[in-house]
């Protein structure tokens, strides 16, 4: 039965959201001190239609000198994936590992581009091991206390 074959297809990859803030410009641009860079990443997945899912990888890059922000960049790169006829136990790893690995290189490029266009040296996001990240999230979820049940 051909209609029961597993399906995994990329429908589209797109920049869902991008923002840049320089709240302390222009004065902070005259500072000589090296800024501290903080990078946060997140992955989220949601169903769009039957067998179609959106997977988003979000990066937040904040640079500060002392307690003053030099710039804050938030980008959300998304992909729409058709995923059908896969066992339920494979859906988590597909959406938590395989899909983010496809979307992430686009996110890296867009983050570096936004920062460069803002007049700063580019910040290149490091390669990410999404499998390790997914396994860590699963371990944290497994060790979290179960919610109280009320009857």
Q: What is the pLDDT of residues 35-77, one digit of tens each?
A: 999 999 999 999 999 999 999 999 999 999 999 999 999 999 9
DSSP 8-state code for residue 96? I
DSSP letter at 129 equals -
**Is a pLDDT exceeding 50 seen at residue 129?**
yes
pLDDT band of residue 103 (cuts 50, 70, 90) is very high
Alpha-carbon distance 130 to 136, whole Å? 10
b (16+ CB within 10 A) / e for 104-142: bebbbbbbbebbeeeebeebebeebebeebbeeeeeeee
* This prediction's pTM: 0.86
Q: Supply the pLDDT for residue 1.
A: 47
**Lookup: tokens for 33:** 């001190």
Beta bridge partners of 116: none
CA 86 to chain centre: 24
Does CATH place domain 2-119 in 3.40.50.1820? no
Give yes or no for a contact between 73 and 122, defined as CB atoms under 8 angstroms apart: no
């Amino acid at each position: 039965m051909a209609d029961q074959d597993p399906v995994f297809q990329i429908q589209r990859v797109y920049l869902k959201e991008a923002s840049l803030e320089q709240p302390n410009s222009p004065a902070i641009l005259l500072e000589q001190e090296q800024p501290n860079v903080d990078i946060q990443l997140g992955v989220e997945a949601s169903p769009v239609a039957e067998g179609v899912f959106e997977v988003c990888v979000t990066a937040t890059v904040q640079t500060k000198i002392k307690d003053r922000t030099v710039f804050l960049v938030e980008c959300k790169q998304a992909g729409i994936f058709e995923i059908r006829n896969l066992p339920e136990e494979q859906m988590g790893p597909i959406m938590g590992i395989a899909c983010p690995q496809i979307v992430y290189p686009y996110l890296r490029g867009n983050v570096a581009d936004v920062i460069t266009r803002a007049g700063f040296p580019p910040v290149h996001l490091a390669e990410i091991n999404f499998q390790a990240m997914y396994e860590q999230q699963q371990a944290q979820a497994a060790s979290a206390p179960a919610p109280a049940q009320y009857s």
